[in-house]
Amino acid sequence: MSNQNQQAVARYHNNFLREVEERVEDGDWVKMCMQCGVCAGSCPLGSAWEHTPQKIFMMIRAGKRDEVLKSDAMWMCTSCYNCIVRCPRKLPITHIMHGLANYAHRLDMAPKGQPTRVIAKLFWDNLVKTGRVNELKFSLAMYFKDGFVQGIKNAMAMQSAGLSLVKAKRLNPMEIIGGHKCKDSSGIKKMIARAREIEDRKKGFTS
C-alpha cells in the first residue's frame, strides 16, 4: 500500500463517500446521483467500462473503495461530455471520472501500465517542461511507453500515418531538437508547483 493510500484509509475509516466528497474533484456530487442509468447508456466506449459511471457512484456509496480505485473504468472516459449534458441530476460526471482517475493515480492504486494513465502522465510531463505540448516528443514517448521493442513496433505500425503527416507539414521532425516552448516556462513550472501545493494542503495530502 502506498504511503498516501495508508494515510487516506486511516483518515476516512472506511467512509469512502466522504473521502470522495473531500478529495475528488466534484466528488461532493456523487450523493446526488439518482441511479437512472442514462450516463451508463451514453458512454461511447460503454461496453469497455468495467463499471459504468452509474455503478461507480453506487459503489462509492456502498463503500467499495478498492474496487473503485483499482478499476480501469474511469480511464475509459474519452471526455465526450455526453453524460454531462444528459444526466437529469446535472452531475458533472466527466469531471468526477477525471477526478477519480486522478485520485487513484495519486494514491498509486490505479492499474499499473494502464495505457491512458501512462499517456496522461507523459502528456503532463511534456507540458510542464515547456508550457506547450511538443507533439513529436509526445508521440515518440508514447510509442516507447511499453518499452523499447514494443516502441519500435508501435512506431512502425503508425509509420505511414506519421510520414503522411510529415509530408503534410503537420508533424515536424525538427522538433526533436527544439520546437515550441513558452518564454516563461520557468514561471509556469513554479506556478504549477504552487497550485499543486495549495491543493494538496486543502485536500489533506501529506507528503
Q: Which of 1, 115, 156, 204 binds another protein (CB under 8 A)?
A: 115
What residue spans of the chain are helical by DSSP H? 3-12, 16-23, 53-61, 65-69, 82-86, 93-106, 115-130, 135-143, 148-157, 159-167, 185-202
User: Residue 58 half-sphere exposure, CB side, CA atoms within 13 Å?
Assistant: 11
Q: Give the residue carrying C-alpha cell 518499452.
A: 147
When the beta carbons of 96 and 141 are compared against ligand SF4, the nearer one is 96
3 forms part of the interface with ligand SF4 (CB under 6 A): no
CA distance 117 to 121: 6
When the beta carbons of 54 and 71 are compared against ligand SF4, the nearer one is 54
User: With CB cut-offs between 5 and 8 Å by kind, which of ligand SF4, another protein, none does residue 27 bind?
Assistant: none
48 forms part of the interface with ligand SF4 (CB under 6 A): no
Angle at 114 between CA 110 and CA 118, to 5 degrees: 95
CA distance 179 to 172: 8
Q: Which of 6, 14, 78, 150 binds ligand SF4 (CB under 6 A)?
A: 78
177 forms part of the interface with another protein (CB under 8 A): no
101 forms part of the interface with ligand SF4 (CB under 6 A): no
When the beta carbons of 53 and 131 are compared against ligand SF4, the nearer one is 53
Burial of 109 (0-12, 13-18, 19+ CB in 10 A): buried
Q: Are 145 and 119 in contact (CB under 8 A)?
A: yes
Q: Which of 1, 32, 156, 176 binds another protein (CB under 8 A)?
A: 32
Taking contact as CB under 6 A, which single stretch among the options 9-17, 30-38, 100-108, 137-145 is the one that binds ligand SF4? 30-38
When the beta carbons of 1 and 191 are compared against another protein, the nearer one is 191
Least Cβ distance, residue 50 to ligand SF4 (angstroms):
13
Q: Which of 99, 92, 101 has the alpha carbon at shortest distance from 73?
A: 101
When the beta carbons of 44 and 204 are compared against ligand SF4, the nearer one is 44
Q: Are 133 and 123 in contact (CB under 8 A)?
A: yes
In the stretch 117-156, what mask flags binding to another protein with x, by CB under 8 A?
xxxxx-xxx-x---xxx-x------x--------------
Give strand ranges (E) for 93-158.
none
Q: Which of 12, 16, 82, 103 binds ligand SF4 (CB under 6 A)?
A: 82
